[in-house]
Amino acid sequence: MDTQMFCFQCEQTAGCSGCTGKAGVCGKTAQTAKLQDELTGALIGLARACMTNEKTKKTDRLIIEGLFTTITNVNFNDETLRTMIDNVNAEKNKAAPFCSECESRCSNTDNYDMSRIWTAPEDIRSLKSLILFGIRGIAAYAYHAAVLGYTSDEVNSILHKGLCVISEDLSMEELLPIVMEVGEKNLTCMEMLDRANRETFGTPQPTEVPLSVEKGPFIVITGHDLYDLKLLLEQTEGKGINIYTHGEMLPAHAYPELKKYSHLKGNFGTAWQNQQKEFADLPAPILFTTNCLMPVKPSYADRVFTTEVVSYPEMVHIGDDKDFSPVIEKALELGGYPEGRNMTGINGGGTVTTGFGHSAVLSVADTVVDAVKSGAIRHFFLVGGCDGAKPGRSYYTDFVKQTPKDSIILTLACGKYRFNDLDLGTIGGLPRIMDMGQCNDAYSAIKVALALADAFKCEVNELPLSMILSWYEQKAVCILLTLLYLGIKDIRLGPSLPAFISPAILDFLVENFGIAPITTPEQDLKAILG
C-alpha cells in the first residue's frame, strides 16, 4: 500500500475510507500511526509466543495496555510508543528465549506486519478489523477494571486469541464466529467492570449536577478513570481547590464514595470534541485520564497533565506514584475565575442529571412496568454512544427533541451531551431522560433491557425498545459486537457506517441483524412508531 499511513478505525476517518496522508483526522502523525501498527504487530508476536510458552500476569498487563494505547485519541507520543514496543519485545523474548537464536526459524513468534491486514481481501480485512478493534475496546474496559484490582482469565484469553487470529490465514466462515465471540467476552468484561465500580465506589444514585463554576482555584479532570478522580479528591481535600469533571467523567458525581467530597463541585464544558475551544485560556489545569485527548493547542498547553496510558509530547505526565502535586500547584498558580461563572450545555440548560444505572432503574421496575401496561409509557429509546465533530451528529439532538412525550430516553456515553441538558419533563415521576453513565457502563443498558424482557415475558426484540446509536472509536465497536452476540436486532447506527465494514459484511449484518444507518429523525421515528 503506497501511502504514508493507513488508519480507518474511527468514525471520522478521511473520506469515510481511511486516513493515508501525513496525519490522520484525529491529529496523529503518519509516524505515530506506523508506531501504533508496530506496537500491534509486537503484541501479536507476544501472543503467538505464549501459545506454546507460559505467560505471566505481566504479559496480560502489557497486552491490555498495548491494545488500549492504540485506541483513537489516547497516545500521540512516539517516545512512549517506542518504549512500549521495547517492553513488549522484551516480554516476548522472556517467554520464548530461544526463538531469536533458533537456526531453523519458523517465524511463528515474529512480530506481525500489519500491512498484511490493510492489504488483505476486503472481506477478510473487514472481519479481522472487527476483531482487532473489538479487542482494543475490551482492553480499555479490562484496563479500568484492573486498576481496581479486578481481572478475568476469560477476558485475557480473548485478547490473546484475537491477536493470534489476526495473523492466521482464515476464511470468512472461520472468522465470523470469532467476531461473535469477541462480543460475548466483552459482555463478561463489562460485567466485571460494573462490579468493580460498584464495589469500589458504591451504587450510583440519580444526581443533579450543576454546569456552573465557582470562583477560585479549580482542576478539570477528564477521561474515564474513576480511581484517578478519587486519588485527586483525596490529595486536594482541604486545599481550597474545587474539582470539576469533564466529558465521560460526569457520571462520577453519582457514586457515593466520590460525591461525598464537598469539593467535587460540578461538570465543566460538554463532550470531548469541544475541548480545544472550551479549554482555551482556561485558568485551571486539565488532567487527562485514559482517552479522549485531542492535539493540544498552545492556548492551554502549559496546563495539560496526563496519566495512565494517555501521553502527548512535552506534556507533564503523572506516573505510577500518582503524585498530583504538579497539577495542584498549577491550580493554585492560575487561581481560577475571579467570580463564579454560569455555564450551559449545548441547548442552554444549566444542570444535567446522571446516575440512572441498572440498580436505580430496576429499583423502580414495577413503576416502569405499570406505566407501560397503562399506556403512560409507549416506547423506550436507547440513544447513546460516542460523540464527535461531524455536523450530522445534530441528528441525535433533533431525534430526542422529537420523541413523543410518552417515551423514555435511556442514554450513556458522551453522545448524551447532544441533549442531556434538555428538560423533557417526567412520566409518572420518572425523568424522560435517564443518563446511565459512561460508555463503560453499557452493561447497565443491557441489564435493564434483559430485565424488562423478563418482566414482560418476551424477547428483547419484542420490547417497545429501539436503539439509536452513535459511534466514534473502538469501545463502541466491542459494544456493538456484544449487542449482536445477544441477538439484538434493528439497531440504527450513525452518523456514518464504519469504513472497515465491507459491502459483503454489511449485507450479512443487515440480513441477520437488521442494522441500518440513521436517516432523518422524522423518517426514523415514523419507521419505529408507525
* Assigned CATH class of 362-529: alpha beta
For residue 207, what are the β-bridge partners?
354
φ, ψ at 307 (rounded to 5°): -155, 175
Fold match between 28-200 and 362-529?
A: no
Q: How many CB atoms lie within 10 A of CB 458?
A: 11
Which pLDDT score is estimated for 56? 87
* Cβ–Cβ < 8 Å for 112, 92: no
Dist CA 194 CA 188 (whole Å): 10
For residue 287, CA distances in Å to 94, 302, 386, 463 come to 35, 12, 20, 41
Residues 223, 288: contact at Cβ < 8 Å? yes
What pLDDT is recorded for position 5? Answer: 96
Q: Residue-wise pLDDT tens for the chain (530 aa)?
A: 568 999 999 999 999 899 999 999 999 999 999 999 999 999 999 999 999 888 888 999 999 999 999 999 999 999 999 999 999 999 999 988 766 666 566 667 889 999 999 999 999 999 999 999 999 999 999 999 999 999 999 999 999 999 999 999 999 999 999 999 999 999 999 999 999 999 999 999 999 999 999 999 999 999 999 999 999 999 999 999 999 999 999 999 999 999 999 999 999 999 899 999 999 999 999 999 988 899 999 999 999 999 999 999 999 999 999 999 999 999 999 999 999 999 999 999 999 999 999 999 999 999 999 999 999 999 999 999 999 887 779 999 999 999 999 999 999 999 999 999 999 999 988 999 999 999 989 999 999 999 999 999 999 999 999 999 999 999 999 999 999 999 999 999 999 999 999 999 999 999 999 999 999 999 999 999 98
DSSP 489-507: ---EEESS--TTS-HHHHH
Amino acid code (one letter) for 229: L
* Domain spans of the chain, in order of start: 28-200, 207-334, 362-529
pTM value?
A: 0.96
Query: CA–CA separation, 79 vs 23, rounded Å?
Result: 17
CATH of domain 207-334: 3.40.50.2030
CATH number of 28-200: 1.20.1270.20
